[in-house]
Chain A
């Protein structure tokens, strides 16, 4: 056995795959798998392992999809108990499931040229982003007590994604800017060419009762594209201010030092802790990006310092009682200098306004007690607390829009759970939770002045305001049920159900009123025989929300998602293994409205049926052939880009479409050879 375990083992899988369906048919299927528009694709996977206990050496090398667009390579070389070296390389492509037809020249660059074309007569544009990453890691166990680990990762991201520019009104727009489809809006892809490098180093030390580690984490983001500055052609002669310089994500960096660990007070009482100090900065040069800021201000000079502390204690003072206490504190100190970047109001009454100090403090805690009534019966009671202080509103800044603000919110909650083994074959749990959030007095800004004022009677003076759901008073209730039943050695069943509600209370009748979710699922597994096994699940979930708008309408949104999965594995013959699964998803979004105008929004229905089958035949010991079949059908009727034949078109004639019915099949044949 030792000889077998220490021998080198290499598995090579080489094969060929064929895909049918057009690019449009594969729009959703290809999102992440790299199967874009080629009809044939080569497949190569390698898995190598060499274990040598006599030299304490262990090497693993894996390579997957080596001939495709999403290849991954991984190496682990270690001397267990002494050191470990890791290296990995990965590629990940994301194709936008939409197809763009446009006259735009230089799409994906920072200086594209807008060219007006009749709708549907431009060139096809395939938007995608590609991540290419390289990671290196090294761990050294210096002594049984002391360990050092360092990990480096650098990733390049390139490509383009949907982006754009609005408020462009010009004579070029057919009809008028008020009524034309997509009028005043241009699609300009966001050019992406950035690198993100991260490093993490940690020194860990373990004593008899105390274990702790000191760590550093650094994150460095560098963007080659500082701004998108399109040539708008005729659209530049606009009546509105020229908005044709779009800032792109600035270079930024963050560093964190932390001390974390755990301590055994006694054999039954343990503590854990983490202290962290982080600094995030951003000082990308405005002029270098072709952007002009306030006089004398070269960059934002942003600096946000975050101090975090978390401590937790668990104890079992008597065998039946478990106690838990946890407290987390976070202080985010925004040291970014203030400068007049904004204007409040317009015309002669306009006043300059600064950016905002976004400092905040958060406290979060929980207490929990569990009692083991019997070996089969356990009850838990818990209490949770969270408070957020968003800091005083910066007096020199201005609220943009008519949004009531709140400096502090506090949420308290209680929860209970009973878990019981009813029989040897059936166990279950029920849990309920309820929490309530409220906060400090509401604050109101002015559209023509800086600062905010506290509102004495928000029900009167803010009667037509929308209150943010993240700040509004909220009652949240949830119940969960779970049961695990194994009626026989062959059959196992799992039942799960949950229901949750949020109810918001605000001084006005507008905004989000309530949301609701529920989820029900049954999972099962059945062993037909020693050779055949079946499994599957059925689940249904519901999400709803109700909100009303000052513009005079109420909207209710209901989403129902039904999922079914059926799977099997079996042995058709001693050398032939087969398996597969069939999955079905039906996702329906219903928008109910009370509009003065007739009509309403159509339902959005997404249906996906996927069949995956495989067969693996052992040719001889160590070599086999595997055949994979995938067939996927998707239907989607989304009015985002096309409403009942009326296609959304940008001002320059650009259109974006998604094939409403997509069918794609894939067949792959792989030869697998195990080399020992």
Chain B
């Protein structure tokens, strides 16, 4: 009998024509959910059987190549037919990538045994295709171990949609950071409000030139909110000391860990001491 369906597809698109995907999830034929050609590309009757009088064979119903004219929403609908059951994709609709018309195959490679975006070591190559600023930031000396392949973008972000900003995995930036930095969660006797509100007020998680991925070097960062200790005319480097009190000389304010030399509990202190000065100043 004449082949039909996907069997008809492979009469032309044989292993010479298509990359090997036999070891991929879609190629695991024992899984009843595994798709065939038609599941994704559509029945494509005019492609399967060129109509008479047509010079060029029409394309399949849905195409996933870079130059395809199939809208991203149609391509994604084909994938979501099966993949919308996973809770990780529940919030895809209206998410930043959906709203920006990103197609599943913009990131995922289907006709392959390995998908770069699913590997920790190679995922950034895919993400940096669009996120150039993050590539620049990751090249800076203070960064999460993403360039070293010990972390990946998807450790913090859910590119398929989330209830938090910037597609972070959990419902807020802080809750996402706490999955690895739970010691910062508190709540503390003495909280530091910008810390409690949003870690990214002070940190850029993609990398900076300042230790601890701070967005600016203390004391500049701290002095965006706080009045400096330094006196009028007080310079920032050795040889320019003036009448600062106690340890608040220019060197300890500008060098070493700067403000954090003394205000070491910048993420909050759980010290309940009521002796003055109280730990409210985040020094102990």
CB within 8 Å of A: which B173-206 residues: 175, 178-180, 182-191, 193-194, 196-198, 201
Binds A, one of B1-9, B35-43, B48-56, B223-231: B223-231
User: Does chain B have a CB within 8 A of A340?
Assistant: yes
The answer to whether B270 touches A284, judged by C-beta atoms less than 8 angstroms apart, is yes
A576 at the interface (CB under 8 A from B): no
| Cβ-neighbour of B190 out of A56, A341, A360, A470 (below 8 A) | A341
Say if the beta carbon of A435 comes within 8 Å of chain B: no
Verify A563–B270 contact, CB threshold 8 A.
Answer: no
Q: Can you identify 8 A-B contacts, CB atoms within 8 angstroms?
A: A32-B145, A183-B251, A293-B272, A314-B94, A342-B190, A375-B71, A599-B237, A640-B255
Most buried by A among B86, B129, B185: B185
Docked CA distance A639–B217 (Å): 11
Which listed segment binds B: A108-116, A550-558, A618-626?
A: A550-558
Q: Across the interface, which residues of A come within 8 angstroms of B69, CB to CB?
A: 375
Check A164–B264 contact: CB distance below 8 A.
Answer: yes
Kindly count the residue-residue contacts between A and B in the assembled complex, taking CB atoms under 8 Å apart.
Answer: 422
Tell me which residues across on chain B come within 8 A of A213, comparing CB atoms.
87, 90
Closest B residue to A378 using CB positions: B101
B38 to chain A, nearest CB (A): 19
Contact of B194 with A1 in the complex, beta carbons under 8 Å: no
Q: With an 8 A cutoff between CB atoms, is B107 at the interface?
A: no
- A466 CB-CB contact with B under 8 Å: yes
Rounded to whole angstroms, the CA-CA distance of A523 and B270 in the bound complex is 49
Q: CB of A252 within 8 A of chain B?
A: yes
Report Cα–Cα, A484/B188, bound state, in Å.
49
CB of A38 within 8 A of chain B? no
For residue A217, which residues in chain B have a CB less than 8 angstroms away from its CB? 170
Q: Which residues of B are interface residues toward A (Cβ below 8 A)?
A: 15, 22-23, 25, 27-34, 66-67, 69, 71, 73, 84-87, 90-95, 98-99, 101, 129-130, 132-133, 135-136, 139-141, 145, 148, 150, 161, 163, 165, 170-172, 175, 178-180, 182-191, 193-194, 196-198, 201, 209, 211, 216-217, 220, 223-228, 230-247, 249, 251-252, 254-258, 260-265, 269-281, 283-284
Q: Is the CB of B256 within 8 A of A641?
A: yes
Q: A648 contacts B273, CB within 8 Å?
A: no
Q: Say whether A169 contacts B246, CB under 8 Å.
A: yes
Determine whether the beta carbon of A470 is less than 8 Å from that of B236. Answer: no
**Do A179 and B85 touch across chains, with their CB atoms under 8 A apart?**
no
Q: Could you say which of A80, A356, A517 has the most chain B C-beta atoms within 10 Å of its C-beta?
A: A80
A509 contacts B by Cβ under 8 Å: no
The answer to whether A59 has its CB under 8 Å from any CB of chain B is no
CA distance in complex: A206, B262 (Å):
55
| CB pair A271 B30 closer than 8 Å | no
Interface size bracket, A side: 35 or more
Complex CA gap A209/B170 in Å reads 25
Q: Does A312 contact B (CB under 8 A)?
A: yes
Q: Given contacts A53-B28, A198-B179, are A302 and B186 in contact (CB under 8 A)?
A: yes
| Chain B interface SS verdict (over half) | loop
Counting CB contacts under 8 A, is A272 at the interface? yes
Given A32-B148, A340-B274, are A302 and B187 neighbors across the interface (CB < 8 Å)? Answer: yes
8 Å CB contact of B136 from A350, A541, A593: A541
* B-contact 0/1 string along A110-141, CB 8 Å cutoff: 00000000000000000000000000000000
- Residues in B whose Cβ lies below 8 Å from that of A278: 171, 175
- CB-contact partner of A178 in B150, B227, B245, B270, under 8 A: B245
Chain A, 293-315, contact with B by CB distance < 8 Å: what is the 0/1 string?
11001001010100010101110
Chain A, residues 468-504, CB within 8 Å of chain B (1/0): the string is 1110000000000010001000000010101000000
Instruction: Please determine whether B182 and A219 come into contact, CB atoms closer than 8 angstroms.
Output: yes
Which residues of B have CB within 8 Å of A260?
A: 87, 90-91, 163
Nearest A residue to B20, CB-CB? A1
Question: What is the CA–CA distance of A373 and B85 in the complex, to the nearest angstrom?
Answer: 33
Interface residues of chain A: helix, strand, loop or mixed (majority) = strand
Within 8 Å by CB of A247, from B141, B255, B265, lies B265
A396 within 8 A of B: no
Docked complex Cα distance between A250 and B252 (Å): 28
Partner of A223, one of B85, B183, B226, B281: B183
In contact, A182 and B280 (Cβ under 8 angstroms):
no
Whole-angstrom distance between the Cβ of A396 and the nearest chain B Cβ = 14
**A514, CB-defined interface residue at 8 Å:** no
Instruction: Choose among A310, A312, A517, A640 the residue that contacts B256 (Cβ–Cβ < 8 A).
Output: A640
B82 CB, min distance to chain A CBs, angstroms: 11
A93 CA to B39 CA in the complex, in Å?
A: 45
Q: Residue on A with the closest CB to B182? A: A221
B249 surroundings in chain A (CB, below 8 A): 178-179, 183
Give the Cβ gap from B67 to chain A, nearest Cβ, in Å: 6
A468 close to B191 (CB less than 8 A) = no
Task: Kindly state whether residue A46 has any CB partner on chain B within 8 Å.
Answer: no
In angstroms, Cα B227 to Cα A194, docked, is 35
Residue A460 interfacial (CB < 8 Å): no
A551 touches B234 (CB 8 A): yes
CA distance A213 to B191 in the complex (A): 34
Mark the stretch among A18-26, A320-328, A526-534 that contacts chain B. Answer: A320-328
Asked if A276 and B171 sit within 8 Å, CB to CB, the answer is yes
Residue of A nearest to B23 (CB): A5
Q: Within the complex, what minimum Cβ distance (angstroms) separates B181 from chain A?
A: 9
Question: Which residues from chain A contact B278 at a C-beta distance below 8 Å?
Answer: 341-343
Contact at B150–A183, with CB atoms within 8 Å?
A: no
B186 partner residues in chain A, CB cutoff 8 A: 250, 252, 282, 302
B259 closest partner in A (C-beta) = A166
Whole-angstrom distance between the Cβ of A180 and the nearest chain B Cβ? 8
Q: Which of A51, A169, A325, A523 is close to B23, meaning CB atoms less than 8 Å apart?
A: A51
Q: Besides the contacts A204-B86, A587-B141, A597-B234, what 19 more A-B pairs have beta carbons closer than 8 Å?
A: A5-B22, A178-B243, A213-B90, A223-B183, A256-B171, A262-B92, A272-B91, A289-B270, A293-B274, A294-B272, A297-B272, A339-B272, A358-B193, A370-B101, A398-B280, A424-B67, A552-B232, A587-B139, A606-B209
Taking a contact as CB atoms under 8 Å apart, the answer to whether B191 and A358 are in contact is yes
Nearest Cβ on chain B to A556's Cβ, whole angstroms: 10
Check if B272 sits within 8 Å of A469, measured CB to CB. no
Q: Is A643 interfacial (CB-CB < 8 Å)?
A: yes
- The answer to whether A563 and B182 have CB atoms under 8 Å apart is no
Q: Is the CB of A164 within 8 A of B261?
A: yes
| A165: Cβ under 8 A from any B Cβ | yes
| 1/0 contact string of A375-400 vs chain B (CB within 8 Å) | 10010101000000000000000101
With a CB–CB cut-off of 8 A, which chain B residues contact A358? 187, 191, 193, 196
